[in-house]
Structure 1
């Protein structure tokens, strides 16, 4: 009797799962149908306005009807219609010559929706910011008021809302608004994003990067330490025009060590003769607590020619720290020394140097074997964060 009850119970559970999957599938199909109907209703409205604009060569002599703007405000205030409009814009972008003029005249609607979705739950607010960033409305309109509203989204307690709001501002925001956004993100520990997320968002900015970088340098000390690290990483990826202020950070013993690490990486990417003596001093520093300075400098010196650099890197091969030896050996290879030549120079007497050179030779062999196999994954050595 107990076995039969267990069997019936198991059958009931399976039947319940089948019914749930069937109902969920019908719900998804019904949702897709409703989304298509909403997109069709929006398409009829938008197509009429595109035709109206397209009748004039300048595209602005005949404005979008006020009734259409009111209708769009009402409909797009519902996230279901915003999703349908998102899909419609994917279809229209680049297909109609009147599209830019139409988007430009939707500026009042964008401002209205920014105020509406600011009061909505975090998921809907995050999606609205994603919508703004995705369609790059910055190309077609000056959205000064909208920028200020989106800036307030960064104060919400949702990680995704903060990320999408920052990406939206990077899509159409001005340099001054972006600087304000970074300051807002650093107001409290709970509001800060990881520096890699901030750097990635800043790299999506396609406006005047020179003006943005100049403003970031002038306001650097206004940001939190985490944001400062993200800003220096962004500057490093943008180009080598910031050598002078980076050198000041590198020379400043009062600066946080992470900022000085970022400066060393900058000079490894963009060799700068005045930074050379400092990098050599860091490499020669035998203080165990300063090993990160030595390790990163050993990597950065790969781009600095000279016998003094080679000699310093060879001495670093005798370091007790594995990462210093690893970076030094890689830099020596960049200077043209083979591992066989390093063996001869070092005479193979130092155990640390011998182990590192053996490791590099073995890594080269494994990398070569992996490259010979078409579906093999590349062999990578493990490097700690910050090095």
Structure 2
């Protein structure tokens, strides 16, 4: 053991029973030094069991920076099982700071996925999305197809597949757009903007006639990502609501002015009231 490690262990022993503000400082220092031994990791794991959000976050962040895969997973599982609160953006940031092999930690997060609570599952999927992690896509498509997972997790997966394109995902997203409740349908309508195919166009043209406004709006916004002739085809639909939402989407994307949108909406009212 180096003199530096001896110093760190003495530092821990001296401050182990101090108040939580001192422990937060200790955790931050240990994370910056990135030393990994039993005493250090044990101190940080024990520090997760606290009512202090600051100490909990600082300790998990330190464990992440140190980069010991097993201890980091142990820490995540402990917080998940205890239902201790950690802000989702902070947790995702902690995942990104892992000092070890990123490939291995992502593989382990997926392998242990079912052992985490719903909030952590959503955050882990968002972490995969933000970093465009493709090697988990087969796992996530199976979860999306499964009946064993809730809406929040599945919606997170649909958002992942709006960034990581996958043909199997496109098929599943189109299926969900036709069959599930409006929250699913609205997210799927947005996701299809990333899939430039005839199947997507057909589904989105149906989506702008949906009974739910959010589904219509998201479908319209996605259609505007396609060629102009597709939008022109959509505007030929003999449906007041689909045409109105397309005009509104065009205004939201700064393709027409607000006055132009109002004018087109008024003309629709006149035409359908005659």
Residue segments in structure 1 that go unaligned for 5+ positions in a row: 1-62, 64-103, 370-387
Hey, what's the Cα distance between the residues in 1 that align with 2:75 and 2:215? 38
Q: Which residue in the other structure is 2:29 paired with?
A: 131
Q: Which residue in the other structure is 1:267 paired with?
A: 161
Answering whether residue 244 of structure 2 is matched by residue 337 of structure 1, we say: no
Q: Which residue in the other structure is 2:247 paired with?
A: 358
Hey, what's the Cα distance between the residues in 1 that align with 2:110 and 2:38? 23
1:351 CA displacement? 3.0
1:195 CA displacement? 2.7
1:120 CA displacement? 1.8
1:271 CA displacement? 0.7
1:367 CA displacement? 10
Deviation per residue, 1:25-63 (Å, 9 max, x gap): xxxxxxxxxxxxxxxxxxxxxxxxxxxxxxxxxxxxxx9
- 323, 328, 334: which one pairs with 2:219? 328
Three-state SS of the structure 2 residue aligned to 1:186 is helix
- TM-score when normalising by structure 1: 0.61
Contact kept? 1:114, 1:150, Cα under 8 Å: no
Deviation per residue, 1:149-176 (Å, 9 max, x gap): 1111110110111111111111113111
Hey, what's the Cα distance between the residues in 1 that align with 2:216 and 2:120? 31
- TM-score when normalising by structure 2: 0.84
Deviation per residue, 1:65-102 (Å, 9 max, x gap): xxxxxxxxxxxxxxxxxxxxxxxxxxxxxxxxxxxxxx
Answering whether residue 216 of structure 2 is matched by residue 309 of structure 1, we say: no
How do residues 230-245 of structure 1 correspond to structure 2 at under 5 angstroms?
230-238=123-131, 239-245=133-139
Q: Which residue in the other structure is 2:113 paired with?
A: 220
How do residues 18-37 of structure 1 correspond to structure 2 at under 5 angstroms?
none
1:217 CA displacement? 1.8
1:354 CA displacement? 2.5
Contact kept? 1:325, 1:356, Cα under 8 Å: yes
1:262 CA displacement? 1.6
1:143 CA displacement? 3.4
Q: CA RMSD for the aligned pairs?
A: 2.5
Hey, what's the Cα distance between the residues in 2 that align with 1:365 and 1:262? 28
Answering whether residue 90 of structure 2 is matched by residue 194 of structure 1, we say: no
Residue segments in structure 2 that go unaligned for 5+ positions in a row: 259-274
Hey, what's the Cα distance between the residues in 1 that align with 2:94 and 2:5? 24
1:298 CA displacement? 1.3
Hey, what's the Cα distance between the residues in 1 that align with 2:101 and 2:109? 12
Q: Which residue in the other structure is 1:278 paired with?
A: 172
Q: Which residue in the other structure is 2:102 paired with?
A: 209
Three-state SS of the structure 1 residue aligned to 2:238 is coil
**1:265/1:105 CA distance change after superposition, 3 Å:** farther
**1:367/1:224 CA distance change after superposition, 3 Å:** farther
**1:115/1:315 CA distance change after superposition, 3 Å:** farther
Contact kept? 2:122, 2:153, Cα under 8 Å: yes
1:366 CA displacement? 8.9
1:223 CA displacement? 1.8
Q: Which residue in the other structure is 1:299 paired with?
A: 190
**1:181/1:325 CA distance change after superposition, 3 Å:** same
Q: Which residue in the other structure is 1:346 paired with?
A: 235
